[in-house]
Amino acid sequence: MIKNVLVTGAGGFMGSHLCSRLAESGYKVKAFVHYNSLGSWGWLENAPFKKKIKVFCGDIRNRDSLRGAVSQSDSIIHLAALIAIPYSYYSPEGYVDTNIRGTLNLLDLARERGIKKFIHISTSEVYGTAQFVPITEKHPVNPQSPYAASKSAADFLALSFYRSFDLPVVVARPFNTFGPRQSARAIIPTIITQILSGNKEIKLGSVYPTRDLTYVADTVEGFIKAMECKSSALGEVINIGSGFEVSIGELVKIISRMMGIKVRIKSEEERKRPAKSEVERLLADNSKAKKLLGWRPKYSLEEGLKDTIFWLKDNNSIYKPHLYNL
């Protein structure tokens, strides 16, 4: 039985929600957070069930700092990664070191330990602009940014350990997750925090791309079901997405309507991706998750946005909406 679960990237947005949900469900949670001189655990500092979570500080690029956390675990859910797409244009080497080499370190240690389940967290960005919709797991992998390329490589590395060494790997591929605690570089906090700051003109990049937005509680439930699933999911890639798409421009209208404030959009060149790097459309086919995991989204876009707006109203002071966050 899986009792001890290691979550890497535990101090981040999705990781902190996942740790809380696991602890609430009775798992013994090992949280691996990035070492820093302040001793900060990121979003775990104020997360529910914090006292039930054992925290390890280190760096996934350093195998020695991972070893202790892996040795005390039965299962791993691997979220740790550099994720900001714009910053990957400036520092592609860092994305290779963290997202590829860091994943290799963890896979090697998982193999040594005899881990019972390794859930590798991917991203819908590896698909690139949809060549057909909805996007199934058989869609070509076509990364359009250094970030997406590094995650694609990590995905294939994880699957190679399943095929070569029988490591029990599942690749969970979330589409655009949102909710409380999300970083300022993401589109929904970008919109909401600018409105909360009194701005009537919202600064964004391109407004035409569409995204499949999934509330964080649904996404982490998908990760847990992937960990708990039977052998039929091993070696598989599984989309975790709502199956609903909305353009960035329409998203602004929905949020502004919910907040009762009329705004206009100013599209700035510095916020746009390079033309050939922009992912124009993402829409998940989640039928495989329903079939293999028994997972389906419970929250509508509006329900998730309501919770997110409420949380950001209470925590807006920690964001810097006047700045463009890479």
**Active-site amino acid positions:** 147
Q: Tell which phi-psi region holds residue 26, choosing left (phi > 0), alpha (psi between -120 and 50) or beta.
A: left
User: Quick one: which of 156, 172, 160 has its CA closest to 76?
Assistant: 172
User: Quick one: which of 237, 178, 258, 183 has its CA closest to 211?
Assistant: 178
Q: How far apart are the C-alpha atoms of 31 and 41, rounded to whole Å? A: 9
Backbone angles phi and psi of 275, in degrees to 5: -55, -45
**Cβ proximity of 316 and 196 under 8 Å:** yes
Q: Which residues contact 70 (CB under 8 A, 6 or more apart)?
A: 6, 76, 106, 109, 110, 112, 113, 115
What tokens does 161 get? Answer: 């350990």
